[in-house]
Chains A and B, each alone.
Chain A
Amino acid sequence: MASAAGGMEIEQVAAENPNAILKEYITPGMGLSAFQARKLAFQLGLKPRRSTKRCS
């Protein structure tokens, strides 16, 4: 689950604005796929060049 509506009670976000909660289903045998992680990153509004770059 991911949400750009951070710093708030997530239950409240889910009740008032369910679209702000992003969900991606992970098949245990497959694990989280790269395309799923990318999809979430784009939906969160991270810029493409950002989402491939991360802090260590």
Chain B
Amino acid sequence: MTGLYKAFEETDSSLMEINPFITCSDGRLFALDAKMNFDDNALFRHPDLKELRDVTEEDPLEVEASKYSLNYIKLDGNVGCMVNGAGLAMATMDIIKYAGGIPANFLDVGGGANAEQVTHAFEILLSDKNVKAVLINIFGGILRVDTLARGVVEAANKTNIQLPVVLRLEGTNVEQGREILKESGLNFIVAETMKDAAEKVVAAARS
């Protein structure tokens, strides 16, 4: 038990479990199986553990996303969402649910994403075949809205997107961002508020 705790601490684990363990008739103890979860954010301290990573065991879309430092988690729904910031991404998923839809993913492009990351994020989103509509919910703080808009337009052109895309943009350079989207000639649905955006994207996913 003390060994288990020591291993837990030294490897920066989030979980370490022996299950099951058995006792033999002669009194000896055997650990038959074990489970270990490691903290991703501490992996840089454990190059040996990092080596053990087997990407073939992971969701290919999530592997692709991690290449571009995007936080992507695939879910079961049909409303794809791209958001900046984990908190806003959680709130966006909540409001999609509240509007009667089911999010297809969690995707946080980070606070300071560049156009390239946005493009990759969009491609990853769209490669999920369950996605019927996309909601882009961005509050441009560090990430500029015009940067995002350029990334979205580039990705939309590149992937030749046929799905409805709802946008809710706010923050730094929002006017330039809206201008870029308007000039792109692409058919985006622009929403004013988060609630409005959620209702529009859920309706779009149903149709």
Contacts and interface: CB of A to CB of B under 8 A. Distances in A.
Given A6-B19, A6-B21, A46-B23, A53 B5 contact: no
Contacts of A37: 1-2
A11 B61 CA distance: 30
Would you call the interface of chain A mostly helix, strand, loop, or mixed?
Answer: loop
Contacts of A53: 27-29
Given A6-B20, A6-B21, A31-B9, A50 B27 contact: yes
A20 interface: no
Nearest to B20: A6
A31 B9 CA distance: 9
Interface of B: 1-2, 5-6, 9, 19-21, 23, 27-31
Interface of A: 2, 6-7, 26, 31-32, 34, 37, 40-41, 46-47, 49-50, 53-55
24 contacts: A6-B19, A6-B20, A26-B5, A31-B5, A31-B9, A32-B1, A32-B2, A34-B2, A37-B2, A41-B1, A46-B23, A46-B29, A47-B27, A49-B27, A50-B23, A50-B27, A50-B28, A50-B29, A53-B27, A54-B29, A55-B28, A55-B29, A55-B30, A55-B31
